[in-house]
Amino acid sequence: SMPAHRLNNVPIALYFATHFYFSSYHVFSNCCLRKVETAYLPGFRRNLLFALVIISLSYFTAFMETLTMSSFPYYSFEDRDMAYTFGSAFYGIYFIVSFPAFYFFDND
């Protein structure tokens, strides 16, 4: 653990770390979504693949963040399986909205 000033028993520096975590998530999602848009011809199948990539990346990102965060000593879960499956699904809803939003913001 890092000796530092704390807020809610979390080192303040970790609050600033969320910026580069979320920036990285969105850069990688933009790369994947851009690949789908440029590698396939426009149409229903490309739109379906685009949506499936968003949903898959959203759940994967939320799941992996929950999994890696579980090793941090200040987090605890009453039911780890529930946190990994349903918690990640509900957290992934954020990314279902933000991944396409950042992708389309980047187009301008």
Distances (CA, A) of 8 to 19, 34, 83: 19, 39, 21
Q: What's the rounded Cα separation, in Å, for the pair 4 and 38?
A: 46
Kindly calculate the radius of gyration of the chain based on its CA atoms and give it in whole angstroms: 17
Asked which of 50-54, 79-83, 101-105 is least confident by mean pLDDT, the reply is: 79-83
| Statement: residue 16 has pLDDT above 70 | yes
**What contacts 29, CB < 8 A, 6 or more positions away?**
54, 57, 61, 95, 99, 102, 103
**pLDDT tens-place string over residues 33-43:** 999 999 999 99
| Cβ–Cβ under 8 Å, residues 74 and 7 | no
**pLDDT tens-place string over residues 68-102:** 887 777 677 788 888 889 989 999 999 999 999 99
